[in-house]
Structures are given as C-alpha cells and as structure tokens.
Amino acid sequence: MYFEPYFLVKGKQIMRQKKKTIRRQMVKTTSSLICMAALMIGGIPSVKAASTEENGDGGVLTYEEADELLNETAGKSLSQIVLEYGVSNYSYDTIDLCGGNSHMQGICVDDEMEYLYFSYTSSLAKVDMKTGEVVGSVGGFGEGSFGTPGGAHLGDLAYYDGKIYGSLEYKEPGKKFFIAAFDEDNITETGMDIKDMPEGVDGILLKEPTEDFRDPLNDYEEIVAENTTETEKSDGFAENEQNLGHKFACSGIDGVAFGQMPGDDSGKTYLFVAYGIYGWEDRYDNNYNVIQVYDPDDFHTEESRGKCLRRFTYERGISSDVDVEGGEYLEACDTLYVWTGTTNYGCQNLDVDRDTGDLVLYTYENTKTGWTDKTLYVIDGEKEPVLEELEVGQSNTANDKEALEKAECYKIDTDDDGIVDAYPVVKHAVLKCICGNDCQEQEWSDTGKTAMICGAVIPGKATFGITSLDQGYYLVSNGETGADLYRRDENYNYTRMTVSAALEQAIADAENVEKTKYTEDSWEAVQHAAEEAEKLKDIQETEAKETMIKNSADAAEAIARINEALAQTNTESK
C-alpha cells in the first residue's frame, strides 16, 4: 500500500484555497515536493525552479501547469517520485560558509518545508530546500568569538511559528543557559554576526537549568577551596566538568522540541528543553533525563519583550549576572523526569514525532554497568505522566553514605515550617515498550528503584541532528555536515530510504495483497512486476553506489509497474 505524502496533499490544498496567489506559491510547493522526496536517497538534488526557457512565463508555474504536475505525481509512493526525478549526492557545504567550528548539532525545517536549518556549535545555517544552497547564516556564538574560555554551544533546534529556537550554552564564565530565538525573516545572507544584528536574534535565559548547573548542593566548601586562586575567589557555584555540586548532575541543556504534553488532548503546545547530564558513575542523582516544560505564552509574545525575551548579546552570555527583578529568567511551567539511567551528556537531540505525538530522546550510551545499552527512548504521547517520589539516591541498596548525604539536598519543605522533611513527588514520563518483548518493571542496579525501561538504537548520527517530517519520515544527520531521509516503523526502527529500500517496499506491497481478490491475468501481472523488481534490487545491492544512482530510473519504472498492476487488480476484481 502507498500513501499520499503530506507535502503533496498540502500542495493540492494550496492550489484549491489560494488561487489568487498561485504564481508565488506553486514554485515553492512543486520544487519543495521534488526536493523533499529526493532526500530519500541521501541528499538534496540540484533541482531548479521552472525557468524562462522551461515555461516561457518568467519561471513561474501557471495554475494549470502546477495542477498537471501534481496530478502526475498524485497516488505515487514517495519512493517512486524521488527515483523518477533522479538524485545527486549532496553534502551540505555549510561549515565553511556559515563559520561553524564543529560538527552538526541540530536540524529543523519550517512549516512550509521551504528551508532547512542546521546548527554547528557556533553558527546557524539556513538552506534552501529547492537548491541545497546555503542562503543565510548567523555566527559569532562559539569558542574564540568573545575571547572567553569555552565559548558557546548552539545545539538542538526546533521551529515554531516563524522562529527557529535552539539551545545555547555558556558554561564558562557565565554559567548560563539560553534558548536562542532566530526570526526566519532576518536571516537574509551568509556570514551574519549576532554582534552586528540589532534585531532578529533573541536570548531567553532559562531559570531551572541555570540554577541547577550552578547549585553546589552539599559541596560548597570544597568548590570554594578548589576554585579560589590568589587573584580571584570562587563564587561558590559548581564548575564545568567538576564533579562537585550540579543538581541532577546538570551539565547544561541540549535537546529542544515543541509539542503537546504527554496525555494532554487540549491541543496546547509547549517547549520542551532537555538537560545535559554528566555521566559520573559514582553519583545516584543523575539517573534521570530531566525535561523542563515552558509555555510559549510566556516568551513567544511581544508582551514578553524586555522581560525574558531580550536581544541576545555576548555580554549577556559571558556575564554571570541575572536581572531577576526585571524578569530576565523564564520559569518552567512543568518538569518531566525520564528514568533511563545515566545517558552521558543527557538527551542530545529531542524531537516530537508528528504522527504519534511521542517525545523521542536521542542519547549516547549509558555510562554505568547493569543498565540498558540503548540510545533511543520514546515517551508515550498518549499517556499522562505518573506521580512518584523523586529518586536521587535515598533508596540505594549499597548504603552509599555520600549518596545519602547528597540526596538530602533534594528534600523540600512540605508543611511550610522552614524544615525540609520529604522528597518531592514529581511527574515521571511513561516510556513506550518498542522492542516487542512486553518489557516489565525491574529494579535497576543498586538504586532501589523499580521501573520499566525500554529503548532502541538511534538511526545514523541522530545525536548530531534529527527532525520529524511526517508519515514516519525523518531527516537524520549522517555525520559532520550531511543529512539523509529515514522512515521508521511502529517500533521506532529506522530504515534509510535508499534505492534498494524503495524497491523493497514496493515488493512488500505486492506480497501483502490477497490473491483471491484478483483476476488471473492481473495477478500474473503483479507477480511478474514483483519478480522484475526483485532482480533489479539484487543488482542495486551489489553494484557500486554510482551505478545505483544511474539505474534509479529503472527502479522507478519497476515500482511504477507494480503500482500499475496493483491498481488494475483492484478495479477489475469484484
């Protein structure tokens, strides 16, 4: 069975509903359709919008031309469309163009599927999906930009209502954690620098990760002793990479995503921000992936301008000062705790699946023995979090004295008498069992806590960047600068959509039909088409990559024959 891709359906709706602006809209729609499909084989193709030579109308498709194009592709599988248009392996040449100084950190796409956005630690790149060209970039965030140790870290990205939001860390000397907010319309050229931009880049200072990173817990005196020099006294805050203090072993933030709260059917959208977590093996308070939840009504409005929504400047990043009275802090409206064990540096990329509403965490492996070795965890979008006591080492069965002492720092005052007397009851997110083995609760290591943990393995380099598109498709980083298209199954197993994968899917479609529903001639046509596709798939899997791409037109024809045969049997059979 095939489905009609989301962006194809969207294109048809645009044509029906916006005839008055069809000349402007359809170039974007048809070009993006071809480009998005082409991502299946591993890169953005060199696809041009219609030129003067192509249609004689100044490069703008008429309504009739656009309608004809979409009618030609309607009903075809996404695999078939990409193969018909051909593919060139395109690796995003963005690091040099946008000034990034490290590998890809995050990916997002706008709602019109017109531009892709990539973060590279110290810069943001804007890529035209029709051409694969870098059309804009913003830099000036990273190491060396401000002449300070450590510089900044621009991480995971998420798109929301005309803005690109990204996690932004200043671990030293500022010890502050922001959400950078880029206005898509202000990214107009490559080589832009935040220091020279009077508007278009805001910084939202997050209260919880900033305070949790700084929190000395019960290590204040040792922190001061370790970090006081002859010329400067320690401020008593926990220090980057130093195993002293740091509530929940917070190392900062990374994963960001917009979506609905698990189990909430109100339609309300929230911003989710995941902590980085130091993977220290001797700690018991770092077994959660902590996700702070923020309400866009508190920062994505002009009413928040001048409070938490302020123009970002390097002075704000490197200064440890916080304008608390002026409302500079954005406070979380909720927190989710995900019991996974210590995933070193926490959730690198966080994404909300557009089909299921699940929150998906992409992490590095657990640093402790006796835990799962998975790197992908799925929070069930349909299930409300479960209220349980926070577990930070107070139940450890090893009778670890240091852990018990540190756990005391997490107690709260429950009866307002000024005395901390109990551990808080917090929202534990419910993980999905995605392995097919009906996972049950079990006690994990010597924590004394019982929980169900299930996971999978990340596709490609998903810790470098991943974003959900629709209909099970994801754009996934394949390394330093590139990205490929993957499709997941219901258990979050991902398959890269290569030529062979497209053929395999078409063959599977043919095998899944019932013979009794077909006429003898049409059934024979299906079988013959499937056999020919199987032969071609064998060739694709044994030949060099260049040959695979060269023969993609043959694969498209084979898939078309299968689809044609299936359509005939459905109409002839009664």
For 265-381, strand residue ranges (E) read 270-277, 288-294, 310-311, 329-330, 334-339, 347-352, 359-363, 376-379
CB atoms within 10 A of CB 541: 13
Q: Are 109 and 116 in contact (CB under 8 A)?
A: yes
371: left (phi over 0), alpha (psi -120 to 50) or beta: beta
Mean pLDDT estimate for the chain: 81
**pLDDT above 70 covers what percent of the chain?**
76
Of 126-135, 196-205, 242-251, 553-562, the poorest mean pLDDT is in 553-562
More confident residue, 2 or 111: 111
φ and ψ at 508, to 5 degrees?
A: -60, -40
Q: Is 305 helix (H, G, I), strand (E, B) or coil?
A: strand
Burial of 447 (0-12, 13-18, 19+ CB in 10 A): buried
Question: CA 423 to CA 392: how far, in whole Å?
Answer: 9
Exposure letters 325-345 (e unless 16+ CB within 10 A, then b): eeebbbebeebbbbbbbbbbb
Exposure letters 498-522 (e unless 16+ CB within 10 A, then b): bbbbbbbbbbebbeebeeeebeeeb
Q: Is 306 helix (H, G, I), strand (E, B) or coil?
A: coil
Q: Are 166 and 126 in contact (CB under 8 A)?
A: no
pLDDT at residue number 19: 33
Q: Are 79 and 112 in contact (CB under 8 A)?
A: no
Question: CA 401 to CA 419: how far, in whole Å?
Answer: 22
More confident residue, 443 or 513: 443
Of 344-348, 366-370, 506-510, the poorest mean pLDDT is in 506-510
Neighbouring C-alpha atoms within 13 Å toward the C-beta of 144: 8
Q: Are 427 and 293 in contact (CB under 8 A)?
A: no
Using one digit for the tens of pLDDT, what is the confidence trace for 256-271? Answer: 999 999 999 999 999 9
H-assigned helices in 273-386: 314-318
Widest CA span of the chain, in angstroms? 91
Using one digit for the tens of pLDDT, what is the confidence trace for 414-436? Answer: 999 999 999 999 999 999 999 99
Neighbouring C-alpha atoms within 13 Å toward the C-beta of 547: 9
The pTM for the full model equals 0.78
pLDDT band, residue 186 (cuts 50/70/90): very high
Q: Which two tokens stand for residue 355?
A: 């089909």
* Closest C-alpha among 496, 467, 470 to residue 116: 467
Distances (CA, A) of 281 to 243, 370, 371, 492: 10, 12, 12, 29
pLDDT at residue number 84: 43
In the predicted model, is pLDDT for residue 533 greater than 70? yes
Q: Which two tokens stand for residue 283?
A: 């700690």
CA angle 181, 184, 187 (to 5 degrees): 100
Q: Which two tokens stand for residue 81?
A: 């469309």
Question: CA 485 to CA 498: how far, in whole Å?
Answer: 9
In the predicted model, is pLDDT for residue 273 greater than 80? yes
For tokens 């409302």, the residue is 327
For 55-213, strand residue ranges (E) read 106-109, 115-119, 124-128, 134-139, 153-160, 163-170, 176-183, 192-193, 201-206
In the predicted model, is pLDDT for residue 284 greater than 90? yes
Q: Which two tokens stand for residue 325?
A: 């009275």
pLDDT at residue number 552: 58
Residue 281 CB contacts under 8 Å (≥ 6 apart), including other chains? 342, 367, 368
Question: CA 143 to CA 150: how far, in whole Å?
Answer: 6
For 433, which DSSP code?
Answer: -
In the predicted model, is pLDDT for residue 383 greater than 80? yes
Average pLDDT over residues 376-383: 98
| Cα 458 → chain centroid | 12
Angle, to 10 degrees, between the axis of helix 78-85 and the axis of helix 552-572?
A: 140
CB atoms within 10 A of CB 536: 20
**pLDDT above 90 covers what percent of the chain?**
56
